[in-house]
Homo-oligomer: A and B are copies of this chain.
């Protein structure tokens, strides 16, 4: 695929992490490669934790939003839907293995379990081929009436 999931399915989203329409956000671009979801991200200079290293909160934000897109796209494909259901994060658990340099990072995510309306996603963040953080999260498709319904 050549178009990011966010651009294809949620061009007007204002989400801080992944909304194409949030000019001050991180604007993550996630792509499906079979059942693996990938993204590359270049941090801003002010995303540091300390000189030269990426902040853990930003790492969490990247892994959370990227995993959420893995979840909703997976549920779309699984359910034979025309568009991804609006999923929200139930929880995410970030393990920081070592400092992450403040330069281009790579994200991968895989759905490891799912039902019709929720998915568990395991993801990794790496820099220069070295995994610096891992995450596991659960993402749930919301029903009509939830404030996130029709968010994209």
Residues of A within 8 A of B (CB): 13-17, 22-26, 44, 46-53, 55-58, 60-62, 64-65, 88-96, 99, 146-148, 151
Q: Can you name 27 A-B pairs with beta carbons within 8 Å? A: A14-B46, A14-B50, A14-B51, A16-B46, A16-B48, A16-B49, A16-B57, A24-B46, A25-B46, A26-B57, A50-B147, A53-B147, A55-B61, A57-B58, A57-B60, A58-B61, A60-B64, A88-B96, A89-B94, A89-B96, A90-B96, A91-B93, A91-B94, A91-B96, A93-B93, A93-B94, A99-B146
With A57-B65, A61-B57, A65-B57 in contact, do A15 and B50 touch (Cβ < 8 Å)?
yes
Copies in the complex: 2
Residues of chain B lying within 8 A (CB to CB) of residue A147: 50, 52-53, 99
